[in-house]
Structure 1
Amino acid sequence: MQIDGLFAGKPAPFGPRKAPSSIIKTAVPFLTVTSDGTEEDEQGNKKLHGGPEKVLHQYGLPGYRQLSKAYPSLSGSFVPGSIGENITVDGMDDTRVQVGDIYKMGDVVLQVSAPRAPCNKISHRFGEKNMDRYVGKHGITGWYYRVLETGVLTLNAEVTLIERPVESVSIHDLVTAVFAEEAKHEDLCYYSTLEALDQEWREKCKHKAMRAER
């Protein structure tokens, strides 16, 4: 596998409330990756995005294909980078990538930390109400990375899975469990114990498990 696309953006007024957002990104030849961000990309809402657990966002190409089928009138809009991600790699998607996976991309080493929590900016981006809910329900959110070794990501750099934890879950299965109307208590309890999973998502799983038990 190799890096097929890199994207970066700067905060700009977005959506009906004109709140700062960096969901609009442009293709770039490289990203300079630090432990808590990149020099080329900046988050508009740093309470919800960015930080050491959400340094980079990657989105799978199958997600775009599914959105194109669900929203055929917008199919031409679903192109790499359009949902606000930083990285595109053909061959990686929500069903294959698991929490805690460690990937070497060029000289950068990244670990999958959590899914992206879909927000209404996705709906505003494409002008389709509740698209964010569709993304969550179908487990096509993409995922975040924490950085284990900093460096520069470049187009066409080799991508290799170098480690996968024994106890884990795919991004798709985790997200669909959290967004399901009838969640499985045992699964959610298990997901809440995954050491590699971001604390925020562990709490989501705990709360959902408590509701499922009632």
Structure 2
Amino acid sequence: MQVAALYAGNPAPLGPRKALSAICKQPAYFLTVHQDRTDEDTQANKRLHGGPEKVLHQYSLAGYELIKQHYPALAEQAIAGTIGENITVEGMTDENVMIGDVYTFGEVVVQVGAPRAPCTKINQRFNSPNLDRFTGNHGITGWYYRVLQTGIIHTGDCVSLESRPAQTVSVGELMRSVYNPDYFARASDYVGLEVLDDEWRGKCEKAMAKAGR
């Protein structure tokens, strides 16, 4: 696999309310990756975005395809780089990327920490109410990386899976189990996984309570 594209941006007014958001990113030739940030990309809401557990966000091409299938009017808008992600890699999806996976991107080593929570900013970006709910219900929100080895990622760098926990869950399945009521009961299968952080363990517990588990 290879890095097909990289994206970075700075906060700018978004939507009718002109709230600051960094969802509108531009293609980048490289990203300088540190333990808690990249030099080229900044966030508007640092409470929800960025930091050591959310240094990089990746979104799948398959996610865009599903969006376009259900929202035909977005066929020309919903293209790689428009949901605020930093990385595009063909073949990596919410279903085949697992929590705890360790990948190398060129000289940089990262670990999948958690799914990205559904973000209302995509509703404003695409002028499509409830698009965030659609991505959450279908488990196509993308995922965040924590950084194990810093360095520079370049467009075209090789991407390889270095290790995978023996017991884990896909990004998409975990997202659905805590967000989609039809899947809440499944959260009981994942709440005990060591690869989950406290935040997502708590989300699983809440989903289990709603499911009566």
TM range (shorter): over 0.9
TM-score, length of structure 2 as denominator length: 0.96
Shift of 1:104: 0.7
- Name the structure 2 match of 1:33: 33
- Name the structure 2 match of 1:99: 99
Aligned CA RMSD, in angstroms, stands at 1.2
Shift of 1:18: 2.1
5+ residue gaps in structure 1? none
Equivalent residues in 2 for 1:43-62 (5 A)? 43-62=43-62
- Name the structure 2 match of 1:177: 177
Q: How far does the alpha carbon of each residue in 1:129-187 deviate from its partner, in whole angstroms, 9 at most, with x for none?
A: 101000111111110000000000001100000000011000111111112223344x3
Q: Check conservation: 2:142, 2:171, Cα contact below 8 A.
A: yes
TM-score, length of structure 1 as denominator length: 0.95
Comparing 188-197 and 88-97, the one that deviates more:
188-197
Equivalent residues in 2 for 1:1-214 (5 A)? 1-185=1-185, 187-213=186-212
Q: Check conservation: 1:58, 1:143, Cα contact below 8 A.
A: yes
CA distance in 2, matches of 1:9, 1:203: 31
Output the amino acid matched with 1:204: K
Shift of 1:190: 3.6
CA distance in 2, matches of 1:199, 1:103: 22
Output the amino acid matched with 2:52: P
Alignment: residue pair count: 213
SS in structure 2 at match of 1:183? helix
How high is the sequence identity, in percent, across the aligned residues?
53
Shift of 1:210: 1.8
SS in structure 2 at match of 1:182? helix
Q: Check conservation: 2:113, 2:144, Cα contact below 8 A.
A: yes
SS in structure 1 at match of 2:62? helix
Q: Check conservation: 1:53, 1:198, Cα contact below 8 A.
A: no
Q: How far does the alpha carbon of each residue in 1:77-123 deviate from its partner, in whole angstroms, 9 at most, with x for none?
A: 11111000000000100010000000011000000000010121111
5+ residue gaps in structure 2? none
CA distance in 2, matches of 1:179, 1:66: 18
Shift of 1:198: 3.3
SS in structure 2 at match of 1:76? coil
CA distance in 1, matches of 2:13, 2:212: 42
SS in structure 2 at match of 1:66? helix
CA distance in 2, matches of 1:171, 1:19: 29
Q: Check conservation: 1:95, 1:173, Cα contact below 8 A.
A: yes
Shift of 1:194: 2.6
Q: 1:195 to 1:16 in 2, by over 3 A?
A: farther
